[in-house]
Amino acid sequence: MTDPVVQVDVVALRMLAAKLAIHAAQAKGLTPAESGQEAVAAVPGSAMAAAAAGLVDPITRAYGSIAATLQNLSETAGGSAADYEAVDKAFAVALARYERGAQ
C-alpha cells in the first residue's frame, strides 16, 4: 500500500511562481512590430513584405496571450503555495489539540 500522505514542496511552488512571472514579463515585452517593419523595409513591394506586415498584429496578440497565461500560472502556483501552508498550519494546530485531548 502506498503512503496516503500528500506532500507539497511549497518552496518549489514559490520558485515556479517566480520563474513564471519572469517569463510572463519577458513575453509581454516582446515587440514584433520593429522586426516586422524591418522585414517590410528589406523587401518593399514584395509578397514577403505584405505577409510580414500582416503578421505583426497576430504575433503581438499571441505574445500577449502567452504572457497572460504565464502570469495566471504564476499567480496560481503562488496562491497554491500559500493555500498549502495555511492548510498545513491549521492541520498542525488541530492535530496538536487532538493529541492533548482537547476538543
Q: What is the pLDDT of residues 79-94, one digit of tens each?
A: 999 999 999 899 889 9
Average pLDDT, stretch 40-47? 87
Measured CA to CA, the distance from residue 54 to residue 61 in angstroms comes to 12
Q: Which domain, by its residues, includes 87?
A: 32-100
DSSP H or E segment with residue 53: helix 47-100
Q: Give the model's pLDDT for residue 4.
A: 58
Instruction: Give how many domains the chain has, as a whole number.
Output: 1
Q: 8 lies in a domain?
A: no
Q: 93 lies in a domain?
A: yes
Q: 15 lies in a domain?
A: no
Q: 47 lies in a domain?
A: yes
Query: How much is the pTM?
Result: 0.76
DSSP state of 101: T
